[in-house]
Amino acid sequence: MTDRPSKAPAEAPTYPYSPGLEGVPAAETALGYVDGAAGRLTYRGYRIGDLVERGSYPAVANLLWTGDWEPKHHLPTSAVPDAVMTALRALPTSAKPMDALRTAVSVWGATQVLDWPPTAEQARAITAFSPSALAAFARLRQGLEPIEPDPDLDLVPGYLYQLTGARADASTARALDAYFVVGAEHGLNASTFAARVITSTRSDIASAVGGAIGAMKGPLHGGAPSEVVEQLHKVGSPERAEQWVRDAIDRGERLMGFGHRVYRAYDPRAAALRKVVEAMDNKPDWLDLAIKVEDVALRVLAEKHPDRPLKTNVEYYAAAVLQGVGLTPDLFPATFALARHAGWTAHIIEQAADNRLIRPNAIYTGPAERDLPV
C-alpha cells in the first residue's frame, strides 16, 4: 500500500485530472479541424472531399506547410543517402516496415544539417525521403535491389514505382494519392502530439518524425485496414454478409471499419475514398463484397445501437485502396506513416513558430517523504 504525501509535493496536483488528456486542449492549431458530430474534416479550412477531388498529396502537403494552395505543386521522392542504405541492408528481412522506416528516418537525420527552427524546406526533404527509404526496404527484404527515384513522378506514383519497378496506371496512382491526402492530417492525435512534444524541446525535425513513427507503431493508434481485409476474407461472399454480420455482433465482436471515437457521422475520409475506389479501373475483386458488407453492417449496427450512431470509418475504404493498389498488408501501417508526414511536419513547424516547452504535471501517488532504511 502506498501513502499519499503528507505535505504538498513540488508538483502540486492540478485538477481536474483527465487520464489520457482526453478533452484537454494541449495546443492551438490552424491546420486540421475535425468536426465529429457533423462528420466534417478540413485542412486549413478546405473540405477534405474537395482536396481529394481537386488536389494531390504534394499540393495538400504544401498547403499544410505554407498555407498556400497550389494545385499543381510537384514533389518527387528523393534519393536515399548511402548511410541509410547501409543501415537498411543491415536490418533482418523479418524487420517490421515501421521499424525500418523509423530507423531510416533516424539515420537520415544524422546525415543532414537540421537547424532550428524547422522549416518547410526541411519538411519537404523528410517527406520526400521516407517513401524512397520504405520502398528500398520493401525490396531489400525480398532480395531485390532498390530503385532510384524518378524525378518526373510525384511522390505517390514515385513511391509505387520504387516499390514495383513499374509505373502505376493513372487510376491506381490516383487512388493511393487520395489515401495519402486523407491520411495527411488529423488534429492532435497521439503521434502528432509526440512530434510536438519533441519539437518543444527544440530538438530537430528528424527526431520529432522518428518519435511520431514510434508512437504510430502502437496498435491503439489509428486502426488496422489489414483487419478489414481479414474480415472480408472471413465473410467470403455477398450472400453470406447478413448472417456473418449478425453472428459477429451476437458474439460481441466489433465490426472492423465501423465506429469512431470522434466521428458520430459517416467519416468524410471514408466517403471521399469510396468515391475514388469506385472510379478505379482495376477495382479490388472484393469491392462488391465490401459494399454489400457495409450496407448490412450499417443497417444492423443502427438496429442494435439506435442511440449511438456507428458509421463507416476511414479504415474501411483505406483497406480497399491499399489492397487495390497491390500493397501487402504488412506495408499498410508504414504507408499510413508516410502519408502522415505532411501533418506531422506541419505541426512541427507550427509548434516551433510559437514554442513553449511542453511540460505537464504528474499527480504524485508514491509514498510520503521518509528516511532511507538503515
As annotated, the active-site residues are 260, 315
Range 22-61, binding ligand ACO (CB under 6 A): none
Integer Cα distance of 333 and 51 in angstroms: 23
Residue whose CB is less far from ligand ACO, 157 or 222: 222
Q: How many residues sit close enough to ligand ACO to count as binding (CB under 6 A)?
A: 17
Q: Based on DSSP, count helices (H) and strands (E) in the chain, helices before strands.
A: 15, 3
- Beta bridge mates, 32: 43
Residue whose CB is less far from ligand ACO, 52 or 310: 310
Question: Least CB distance from residue 299 to ligand ACO, whole Å?
Answer: 13
Q: Report the residue closest to ligand ACO, judged by CB.
A: 259
Residue 367 neighbours by CB under 8 Å, 6+ apart: 2, 3, 5
Range 193-232, binding ligand ACO (CB under 6 A): 222-223
The mark string for 153-192 relative to ligand ACO (x by CB under 6 A, - otherwise) is ----------------------------------------
Q: What angle do CA 224, 260, 311 make, to 5 degrees?
A: 100
Question: Least CB distance from residue 62 to ligand ACO, whole Å?
Answer: 24
Residue whose CB is less far from ligand ACO, 168 or 310: 310
Residue whose CB is less far from ligand ACO, 260 or 347: 260
Residue whose CB is less far from ligand ACO, 20 or 92: 20
Task: Tell me the three state secondary structure of residue 312.
Answer: strand
The mark string for 303-322 relative to ligand ACO (x by CB under 6 A, - otherwise) is --x--x-x--xxx-------
Give φ, ψ of 314 to 5 degrees: -55, -30
Report whether 118 contacts 47 (CB < 8 A).
no
Question: Least CB distance from residue 61 to ligand ACO, whole Å?
Answer: 19
Question: Least CB distance from residue 355 to ligand ACO, whole Å?
Answer: 28
Residue 373 neighbours by CB under 8 Å, 6+ apart: none
Residue 275 neighbours by CB under 8 Å, 6+ apart: 52, 53
Question: Least CB distance from residue 247 to ligand ACO, whole Å?
Answer: 12
Residue 8 neighbours by CB under 8 Å, 6+ apart: none
Residue 49, exposed/middle/buried by CB under 10 A (0-12, 13-18, 19+)?
middle
Range 232-261, binding ligand ACO (CB under 6 A): 249, 254-261
Question: Least CB distance from residue 95 to ligand ACO, whole Å?
Answer: 25
Read out DSSP for 318-358? HHHHHHHTT--GGGHHHHHHHHHHHHHHHHHHHHHHT----
Residue 37, exposed/middle/buried by CB under 10 A (0-12, 13-18, 19+)?
exposed
Range 261-280, binding ligand ACO (CB under 6 A): 261
Residue whose CB is less far from ligand ACO, 294 or 315: 315
User: Rule CB under 6 A: which residues touch ligand ACO?
Assistant: 222-223, 249, 254-261, 305, 308, 310, 313-315
